[in-house]
Amino acid sequence: MSTHFFDLDREQLRSFVVEHGLRRFVADQLQEWVYQRGVTELDRMTNVSRRDRERLGELVHFESARLLTERRASDGTRKLLLGWTGPTVEPTGNGLSLLEPASAGETECVMIPAGDRRTACISSQVGCPVGCRFCASGLEGLEGNLTRGNIVEQAWRLGRMAGVGRITNVVFMGMGEPLVNFPGVVGAIRTLNASWGLGIGARRITVSTVGLPAGIRRLARFELPVTLALSLHAPNDELRRQIIPWADRSTIEELLEACTEYFRESGREVTLEYILLGEVNDRPEHARELAGLARSLRANVNLIRYNEVEGLPYRRPVSADVHRFQSLLRERGVNVHIRASRGRDIDAACGQLRHQHRREQG
């Protein structure tokens, strides 16, 4: 079985090629072609000898996923549904075994253009263990963790699409809870950030978590100062437990303490993500509560209008309620923005395309 190219960092790839009878510099040539030029066709790597290209063809493969569906929105957002093949999904700490090739599962990734920015929204797991009541990602639970290579491959493939060019930003806001797959995620971040990799600045990489205090503190000790986004979605514990099952594992106070430590260790201001659900968490009293939380630490707030999911009871808030919510926060000194809704006409919200695909497949 060949090795997934994106699973290896520079030193690992150098050691790998030497172990298989190739010269060390071939690894550097290969990484330059793939990461800097977006080329994986070995025949096009003109400075690599024919013998070495033939050998590399036996040793490595570049794409572990097949493209199931691609959609393009009217605003330029593009979404891929990928089907992972082979034993590419690792066991989790909960004892999940390797998924068989026939059922390795599907994940989504999205490219979001905005001016000169090209943001890759990528997944860290197949499915999701959190099970937020309003989200399509966790409707069928967690099926496994993506490997480092699986995660990197998503960003690389999005950047390789015609007309996209270089990916400038990465957000771990696709399927899964990134801090549950900590080794895979931080390994991928190193490749995304490395000069020999995709060369994306650490401050342009965002890890979004529903909130695991121990995981947040662990990320605070990570050597790269990435941006941390906390998916808060409610201003008090009672309401949060109603819409996020995992919220019974830690209180908002415990989460904010961990976020304060993250700021202290990394110097990076935390983002509080807040999905507005019509008449559930978008009332004036919720805004006033949220303002008190946001002022308790170095944080900014992103308000996100909910994108409806077929079969779930939640609805998108009306515009007047969204702007009133924002105004109440601003009146209380909170740095708050309303995130622009992107890709609504292609089911770009997390998990929607996979959910629809599976329904169609029966």
- Give the containing element (helix H, strand E) for 83: strand 78-84
Residue 108 three-state SS? strand
**Averaged over 104-117, what is the pLDDT?**
91
Taking each helix axis from N to C end, the angle separating 148-160 and 182-193, rounded to the nearest 10 degrees, works out to 40
Rounded Cα distance, 269 and 259, in Å:
9
**Averaged over 265-269, what is the pLDDT?**
94
Q: Tokens 């170095």 belong to which residue?
A: 298
Strands 106-114 and 3-4: unpaired
Task: With a cut of 80, say whether residue 362 has pLDDT above it.
Answer: no
Q: What pLDDT score was predicted for residue 211? A: 86
**Domain 1-62, classified CATH 3.30.2130.10, yes or no:** no
Q: How would residue 94 be classed by pLDDT, with cut points 50, 70 and 90?
A: very low
Rounded Cα distance, 275 and 273, in Å:
7
**Averaged over 324-332, what is the pLDDT?**
98
**Averaged over 43-71, what is the pLDDT?**
95
Q: How would residue 145 be classed by pLDDT, with cut points 50, 70 and 90?
A: very high
Contact in structure between 180 and 125 (CB atoms under 8 Å): yes
Q: Write down the architecture of domain 63-361 according to CATH.
A: Alpha-Beta Barrel (3.20)
Identify the burial level of 204 via C-beta atoms within 10 angstroms of its C-beta, where 0-12 means exposed, 13-18 middle and 19 or more buried. Answer: middle
The DSSP result for 121-187, as a single string, is E--SEEE-SS--TT-STTTT-EEEEEPHHHHHHHHHHHHHSTTT----EEEE-SSS-GGGGHHHHHH
Share above pLDDT 70 across residues of the chain, in percent, rounded to a whole number: 89
User: Does residue 311 come out as left (phi exceeding 0), alpha (psi in the -120 to 50 range) or beta?
Assistant: left
**Which of 228, 151, 140 minimizes the C-alpha distance to 183?**
151
Task: With a cut of 80, say whether residue 237 has pLDDT above it.
Answer: yes
What is the residue-averaged pLDDT of the chain?
A: 90
Task: With a cut of 60, say whether residue 233 has pLDDT above it.
Answer: yes
Task: With a cut of 70, say whether residue 68 has pLDDT above it.
Answer: yes
Catalytic machinery residues: 108, 350
Q: Tokens 């937020």 belong to which residue?
A: 132
Q: What pLDDT score was predicted for residue 347? A: 57
Rounded Cα distance, 207 and 229, in Å:
6
Q: How would residue 284 be classed by pLDDT, with cut points 50, 70 and 90?
A: very high
End-to-end CA distance of the chain: 32
Share above pLDDT 90 across residues of the chain, in percent, rounded to a whole number: 81
Strands 299-305 and 336-338: parallel
Identify the burial level of 236 via C-beta atoms within 10 angstroms of its C-beta, where 0-12 means exposed, 13-18 middle and 19 or more buried. Answer: middle
CB-CB neighbours of 100 under 10 Å: 10
Rounded Cα distance, 100 and 207, in Å:
28
Q: How would residue 1 be classed by pLDDT, with cut points 50, 70 and 90?
A: confident
Task: With a cut of 80, say whether residue 102 has pLDDT above it.
Answer: no
Please list the residue range(s) of the chain that carry CATH number 1.10.150.530: 1-62
Task: With a cut of 70, say whether residue 21 has pLDDT above it.
Answer: yes
Q: Can you give the pTM of this predicted structure? A: 0.91
Task: With a cut of 90, say whether residue 99 has pLDDT above it.
Answer: no
Contact in structure between 244 and 281 (CB atoms under 8 Å): no
Please list the residue range(s) of the chain that carry CATH number 3.20.20.70: 63-361
Q: What pLDDT score was predicted for residue 290? A: 98
Q: What pLDDT score was predicted for residue 101? A: 36
Rounded Cα distance, 147 and 274, in Å:
28
